[in-house]
Amino acid sequence: ALGFTCRRLAFEGPSGVGVDARIENLYARRGTASPNLCFAGHTDVVPTGPSDQWSSQPFNAEVRDGVLYGRGAVDMKGGIAAWVAAVSQVLVDGEPKGSLSFLITGDEEGPALHGTKRVVEALAAEGEVIDACVVGEPSSSQQLGDMIKVGRRGSLNTWITVHGKQGHVAYPERAANPAPVIAKLMSRLNDHVLDDGYENFPPSNLEITTIDIGNPATNIIPAEARARLNIRFNPSHTGDALIDWLNREAGAMQAETGLQITLEHLCSGEAFLTEPGAFVAAVQDAVEAVLGRRPEASTTGGTSDARFIRTLCPVLELGLVGQTMHQIDERVPTAELETLTAVYRRVIETVFERL
């Protein structure tokens, strides 16, 4: 009814199951003129947790006392609905200056291997031009429109295994204990200062998330010791550079102790920043015009699909207050959805005026 040309883009991995399972995505566009303003979002959600702790069925949306309850109400089906409503209002006034598009995925909360990442790759290969993108993640902190996200830190997970030799604790000369080696290595990594911060970003941060010996016996020197860490890093680093550093530290410890140390790495996103400019200013001006407050441009929080879209165009995140996302009784006042619709409408109008 809104005149969009819709394309279903499905991707999967080699096995077709698990993390390779088929993911359905949508790219829809109305118009051919420039600029092309895209809205990106996701329809998948996190697990509900114990459903008996919800005040209503988590997947049966229910409005009570002016509040919409349901999994995904905030993160982020509410944002998608508000943008669709805003687009319909804009079109009532006539043809916009440029094109409008949607990029909607079902693979954001999970591995994010065959969702936005694959769609962006396909669009780039086709030569599709997107000039600016708003991701409808719940970016607001305390009140609607108080914050937009103009960048995100990168994220690197590393799994470390120290290979020792199992033996009896009474005969340590016949064994090689990996436990003190993993402890020493993790302490060394934890004590290292990665940086002192970067413009618009806090210092990069390494967190040890698991140390696992897996030895229930009191008289056995274990054969292996494992650990996992995560680094949230600002643009003063790249994932590859951090991987090189971790490999060097592990190599030095291996040379020092004589025990083999193996590492596996997964960088799920690089750090990025959408620099101040016409697009960011247009969105901030639009929010201020509707709400009377100018949103802070922030880079806090975890990763989002903006990390993939950044390779196509300037991207930022603007959406609901995220305080109940992922929680029992996830909810949003319906009045806030109506206000977000008004904000999104002004964003569309202002961006088309400026770009």
Query: DSSP string spanning 76-91?
Result: IIHHHHHHHHHHHHHH
Give ranges for CATH 3.40.630.10 in the chain: 5-152+271-354
Give ranges for CATH 3.30.70.360 in the chain: 154-269
CATH T-level fold of 5-152+271-354: Aminopeptidase (3.40.630)
Which residue ranges of the chain lie beneath pLDDT 50? none
| One-letter identity of residue 159 | W
Token pair, residue 178, equals 């990996």
Token pair, residue 97, equals 């200056």
Distance CA 324, CA 144 (A): 13
Token pair, residue 88, equals 């319909």
Q: Against a cut of 0.85, is the pTM above it?
A: yes
Distance CA 321, CA 303 (A): 17
Label the pairing between strands 205-212 and 272-273: unpaired
For the domain covering 154-269, report its CATH number. Answer: 3.30.70.360
Q: Which residues pair with 157 in a beta bridge?
A: 230, 266
Burial class (CB in 10 A: 0-12, 13-18, 19+), 258: exposed
Give the residue numbers marked as catalytic: 44, 108
pLDDT of residue 85: 98
pLDDT of residue 110: 85
pLDDT of residue 337: 98
